[in-house]
Amino acid sequence: MFTRLRMVVAVAMLTVATYAAAVETRGSHPETYVVVRGDTLWDIAGRFLGKPWLWPEIWQANPQVQNPHLIFPGDVLSLAYLDRVAVQPGPREEAPIGAVPLAEIEPFLKNLRVADTFEHLPYVVGFEDNRLRGSAGQAAYVRNLAGAQVGQRYAVLRPTVRFAQPRPFRNLESNGRTMALDGNLWREYVPPTGRNEFLGFELAQVNVGTITRTPSGDVEVATLQLEDSGHEVRAGDRVVPVEAKPYDLQFFPHAPRSQPADVRVLAVADSFSAAGPRDVVALSAGRLDGVDNGTVFSLWRQGRHVNNKVTGRNTSRMDDRFTASGDTVGLPDEYTAHAMVFRTFDRVSYALVMDGVKPVRVGYQALHPDQP
């Protein structure tokens, strides 16, 4: 849905001591490591520490790295924490490498948000020349945009998903109504949870524009000149002022301070059912659950209960259950990936899948990254 944008360079503003944790190395490792193109501190920590979210430990042991979000091919990193081997920075002949690939998540930082309601927001009612859709260079007409001034910039948002538990999502039309024939039959079955609550509406930014005319006389609408050619605007899309700085690009990965209860993958952005590395997932926990930017979870497929075909009934019917029933055997949970939270709301957060061994699907559980 969203195209890759320019590389983002973040300036570190927090101290590593905030998130320092005990280092557990993967046995033998070299005293130094030379950074090569394609490396990130996340990858290097995963290779030598076994826990990629502990990359601030490598930064702390290497004071020559002034900005942890900027390492260069050829830099020599110390992996000997006791005697702190002296190292020298490498040549600066290539572009810097980020500790976390922020360019992968920037479009989602700009274009996805969660709100408790959207019905009160101004909305698009039509377009110039009675067009069915609007795009860059065309005018959209917006109702209930009180107090708007000529020259003001507004973002056009579209309600896309209703998040709730135990059913994690409902797809929405552009006017906010539930999509006809919407259902979960084409997605993996979502396991039951102990939570039963509404979590919020996802709103996706589809365009931006500038006010060129305000309501007056018999004209009840404001005119919004659209600027973005990436997505067409539809009648029913909502309009809000453009935020000057809607998010923070400073990420220091860390384990959750305390494990929120029963956190699940609610949805996979830009995908029907599965997510892999560098994809974005929505999680059923946010600020009210103690989740903040940089929180790292491990994502697990919940173990099922299957028919015991040796001692139980011999049937060809699939019987893949989440709870025991009759003569079934419980299977273990299965690790799939690590994910780092990069934007939080009250009860929902968005996380970037950093690495994994299997696809992540809706309903998978998010646990402490040290979960065995």
**Above 90 in pLDDT, residue 307?**
no
Q: Rounded to an integer, what distance in angstroms lies between the CA atom of residue 268 and that of residue 276? A: 10
pLDDT on residue 118: 92
State the Cα angle at 39 between 35 and 41, rounded to 5°.
90
Instruction: Please give the pLDDT value at position 74.
Output: 83
For 289, other C-beta atoms within 10 Å of its C-beta total 21
- Return the pLDDT at 8: 28
If pLDDT is split at 50, 70 and 90, which confidence band does 310 have? confident
Taking 70 as the threshold, does the pLDDT of residue 286 lie above it?
yes
Query: How far apart, in whole angstroms, are the C-alpha atoms of residue 269 and residue 294?
Result: 19
Higher pLDDT: 180 or 173? It is 173
Is the separation of the CB atoms in 53 and 46 below 8 Å? no
How sure is the predictor about 28, in pLDDT bands with cuts at 50, 70 and 90?
low
Instruction: Give residue 169's pLDDT.
Output: 55
Highest mean pLDDT among 76-90, 176-190, 252-266, 288-302: 288-302
Tokens of 126: 């039509």
DSSP class of residue 97?
B
The pLDDT value recorded for residue 249 is 66
What is residue 199's predicted lDDT score, i.e. its pLDDT? 87
pLDDT at 139: 96
Q: What is the pLDDT of residues 51-84, one digit of tens each?
A: 777 777 777 777 777 776 677 888 888 776 533 3
Q: What pLDDT score does 207 carry?
A: 93
pLDDT in tens, 128-148: 999 999 999 999 999 999 888
CA distance 197 to 261: 13
The per-residue pLDDT of the chain, averaged, comes to 76
Segment 193-244, tens digit of pLDDT = 666 678 889 898 999 999 999 998 889 999 999 998 778 999 999 999 987 7
Which is nearest to 163 in space by CA: 188, 212, 217, 199? 199
Residue 9: the pLDDT is 25
Lowest mean pLDDT among 146-155, 180-189, 339-348: 180-189
Task: Give me the mean pLDDT over the 164-190 stretch.
Answer: 57
106 in Cβ contact with 82 (< 8 Å): no
More confident residue, 11 or 155: 155
Determine the average pLDDT of the residues in 77-105: 57
Mean pLDDT score, 21-36: 61
Which of residues 77 and 15 earns the better pLDDT score?
77
The H or E element spanning position 45 is helix 41-48
Residue 97 has phi, psi (to 5 degrees) of -115, 130
Identify which of 61, 95, 96, 93 has the alpha carbon closest to the alpha carbon of residue 77: 61
Backbone phi, psi, residue 316, to 5°: -90, -5
What is residue 333's three-state secondary structure? coil
**DSSP tag of 200:** E
**Which pLDDT band, with edges at 50, 70 and 90, does 158 fall under?**
very high
Share of the chain above pLDDT 70, in %: 71
Domains annotated on the chain, with CATH = 1-104 (3.10.350.10), 112-241 (no CATH), 263-367 (2.40.10.410)
Residue 86: pLDDT band by 50, 70, 90 thresholds?
A: very low
Residue 263 · residue 372 · CB < 8 Å: no
Residues 215, 224 contacting (CB under 8 angstroms): no
Q: What is the pLDDT of residue 356?
A: 86
Among 165-179, 275-289, 300-314, top mean pLDDT goes to 275-289
CA 161, CA 204: separation in Å to the nearest integer?
9
Q: How far is the C-alpha of 301 from the C-alpha of 304, rounded, in Å?
A: 9
> What b/e readout covers 306-322, taking b as 16+ CB neighbours within 10 angstroms?
ebeeeeeeeeeeebebe
Cα-Cα-Cα-Cα dihedral sign, residues 261, 267, 273, 279? negative
